[in-house]
Amino acid sequence: MRTLFKNEKDFAALILRLGFGFLIVFGHGLGKLQMLLAGDIQFPALFGISPTINLILAMLAEFVAGIMVLIGLRTRLASIPLMITMAVAAFIVHASDPLFAAAAAGGASKEFALLFLLGFAGTFFLGSGKYSVDAVAGRR
């Protein structure tokens, strides 16, 4: 049993990276990229910044940094904009929404942003692991 869990941190890093990276890239980032390319900007203006700039920043975090996390390229660095984006989503964009999706009755909630925030905090602290581009390139 000991040998089965010899690389548990590397497997944990792989599972977190693949799961959260895939979900953020294809569940959120790709949609923002398509919205940006179509020119149909439907995004909030936050911190006195225009909706277009906010959309670009969120797309860069969710799509570009998300791909970096997914493949394990500079995972710790790429996790930072993702954590910031998810914190803004949870505590600013969804500030008045309920915590749990079940309580939202089909509306918005903080739950998913917080789950992503926790997942990317995990990738930040674990790093990319040995099953990653960083490990193959010798940068781990």
For the chain, the domains span 8-133
Cβ atoms of 31 and 84 within 8 Å: the answer is no
Cβ atoms of 132 and 17 within 8 Å: the answer is yes
Eight-class DSSP state of 37: H
Q: How far apart are CA 109 and CA 78, in angstroms?
A: 25
Dmax (CA) for the chain in angstroms is: 55
Q: Which residues contact 8 (CB under 8 A, 6 or more apart)?
A: none
pLDDT band at residue 1 under the 50/70/90 scheme:
low
pLDDT digits (tens, 9 = 90+) for 44-75: 999 999 999 999 999 999 999 999 999 999 99
pLDDT value at residue 2: 63
- Report the interhelical angle of 51-59 vs 30-38 (nearest 10°): 140
Bridge partners of residue 49, in order along the sequence: 46
Question: What rounded mean pLDDT belongs to the chain?
Answer: 93
Cβ atoms of 62 and 24 within 8 Å: the answer is yes
Percent of the chain at pLDDT above 70? 95
pLDDT digits (tens, 9 = 90+) for 89-113: 999 999 999 999 888 888 899 999 9
Q: How far apart are CA 90 and CA 72, in angstroms?
A: 25
